[in-house]
């Protein structure tokens, strides 16, 4: 039996984060390719979020019935089933996969926090929580770019398969640790009070309301950024890979958490939080305005899908212009409120591919010195990866 500690729980959280981060950027692009209209993508994410929120209220009942020892594997199994549904590349499979993924994430987060409170002493939480988020930052930095790379180069099966393998590692690591419910926590003998009765007392305390507004606003911003950041990049004519790099770069900012902690201690939390929200809001508005300006200059001709035609899951079906499409013959969408929708997506990426082909045709073969440097870099990265695997196995 493995004695759980801060590193063990951080590894559990990192494996779960990798399983989710790999598809964090892929799902919005896949939904946009299916629906063709950004409005429908928003409605799909909203419906899944509301349904997942309602389903999360069932998790405490499940824990009370079967125990957290079985609810955590249920969440891991959901993360295994979700990629299987998503790889079907159908509307029903996409919505079902998103819903199962949200419910599985809620199961894992709730039960993991309960285990941490059981096994990590209150005084050790100061060291445990930063370590957990540090491991998670590595997963969220690598996962989004890796997911788009696999999805764009190999196909949906590669990205979803990698996520499913990470979910299986979550389950294997949990059963290896053999975590048990804390026997010191006795089952309640009295009827528990209704939590809805405490809403009035919560709203009567301004500081608690402010903390909730800050957390809610931050979560909403991150959700919008994860969904619309990649879509805005693709609609602006850039390679979809840059969408994954954008999310990865933003997630890498978590490594600067100690620096922001020092800035907050020097300037005060109020100034730091207000400044961070103002900066994020200004940058978001600027990105949206620039995206609208760039979209006006995109030609409306050209009908290529953002995913390459060599993907194994591509079912080619050509219409008048002889161009194969992803999900059968081209379907007509109402594009009035979306500024072009899927047509802009296809034309933008089509122009990018034409420019890429021209640049590759002009590019000369790398020199022997450049090949030697590339070989040295690959060797160094391989050694670093082996060391990281050995460190994680020791942990």
pLDDT in tens, 336-349: 344 444 555 555 55
Residue 6 pLDDT: 80
Nearest alpha carbon to residue 106 among 114, 95, 117: 114
pLDDT(167) > 70: yes
Alpha-carbon distance of 118 to 23, in angstroms, equals 31
Residue 94 pLDDT: 93
Cβ-count burial 150-188 (b if 16+ within 10 Å, e if not): bbbebbbbbbbbbbbebbbbbbebbeebebeeeeeeeee
Residue with tokens 């209220």: 57
Residue 236 pLDDT: 78
CB 151 within 8 A of CB 313: no
Kindly indicate the confidence band of residue 171, based on its pLDDT and cuts at 50, 70 and 90.
very high
pLDDT > 70 fraction of the chain, expressed in percent and rounded:
68
pLDDT(137) > 50: yes
How many residues would you count in the chain?
395
CB 17 within 8 A of CB 136: yes
Tokens coding 212: 């909730």
CB 140 within 8 A of CB 253: no
Q: What is the pTM of this model?
A: 0.70
Q: Residue 114 phi/psi, 5° resolution?
A: -65, -40
pLDDT(59) > 70: yes
Residue 389 pLDDT: 52
pLDDT(376) > 70: no
Alpha-carbon distance of 234 to 232, in angstroms, equals 6
pLDDT(142) > 80: yes
Residue 79 pLDDT: 95
Mean pLDDT, range 155-179, rounded to an integer: 91
Q: Which residues contact 178 (CB under 8 A, 6 or more apart)?
A: 1, 2
Provide the CATH topology of domain 6-181+202-296.
Answer: Growth Hormone; Chain: A; (1.20.1250)
Mean pLDDT, range 72-95, rounded to an integer: 93
Alpha-carbon distance of 317 to 325, in angstroms, equals 6
Kindly indicate the confidence band of residue 164, based on its pLDDT and cuts at 50, 70 and 90.
very high
User: Cα–Cα distances in Å, from 146 out to 74, 106, 149, 162, 385?
Assistant: 26, 24, 5, 10, 15
pLDDT(156) > 50: yes
**Cα 223 vs. chain centroid, distance in angstroms?**
9
């Amino acid at each position: 039996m493995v004695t759980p500690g801060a590193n063990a729980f951080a590894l559990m959280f990192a494996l779960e984060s990798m399983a989710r981060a790999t598809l964090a950027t892929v799902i919005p692009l896949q939904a946009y390719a299916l629906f063709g209209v950004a409005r429908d993508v928003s409605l799909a994410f909203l419906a899944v979020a509301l349904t997942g929120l309602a389903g999360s209220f069932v998790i405490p009942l499940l824990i009370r019935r079967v125990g957290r020892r079985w609810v955590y594997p249920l969440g891991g199994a959901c993360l295994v089933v979700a990629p299987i549904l998503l790889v079907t590349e159908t509307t029903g499979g996409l919505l079902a996969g998103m819903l199962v993924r949200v419910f599985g994430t809620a199961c894992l987060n709730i039960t993991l926090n309960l285990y941490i409170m059981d096994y990590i002493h209150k005084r050790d939480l100061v060291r445990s929580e930063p370590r957990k988020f540090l491991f998670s930052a590595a997963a969220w930095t690598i996962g989004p770019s890796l997911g788009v790379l696999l999805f764009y180069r190999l196909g949906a099966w590669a990205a979803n398969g990698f996520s499913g393998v990470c979910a299986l590692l979550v389950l294997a690591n949990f059963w290896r640790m053999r975590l048990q419910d804390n026997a010191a926590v006795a089952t309640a003998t009295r009827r528990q009070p209704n939590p809805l009765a405490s809403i009035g007392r919560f709203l009567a305390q301004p500081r608690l309301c402010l903390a909730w507004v800050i957390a809610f606003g931050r979560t909403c911003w991150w959700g919008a950024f994860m969904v619309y950041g990649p879509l805005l990049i693709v609609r602006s004519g850039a390679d979809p890979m840059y969408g994954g790099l954008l999310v990865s770069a933003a997630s890498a900012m978590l490594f600067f958490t100690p620096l922001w902690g020092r800035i907050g201690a020097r300037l005060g939390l109020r100034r730091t939080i207000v400044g961070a929200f103002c900066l994020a809001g200004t940058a978001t508005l600027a990105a949206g305005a620039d995206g609208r300006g760039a979209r006006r200059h995109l030609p409306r001709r050209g009908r290529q899908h953002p995913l390459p035609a060599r993907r194994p899951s591509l079912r080619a079906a050509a219409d008048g212009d002889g161009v194969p499409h992803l999900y059968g013959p081209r379907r007509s969408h109402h594009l009035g409120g979306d500024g072009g929708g899927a047509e802009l997506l296809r034309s933008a990426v089509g122009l990018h591919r034409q420019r890429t082909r021209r640049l590759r045709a002009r590019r000369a073969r790398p020199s022997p010195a450049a090949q030697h440097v590339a070989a040295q870099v690959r060797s160094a990265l391989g050694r670093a990866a082996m060391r990281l695997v050995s460190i994680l196995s020791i942990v």
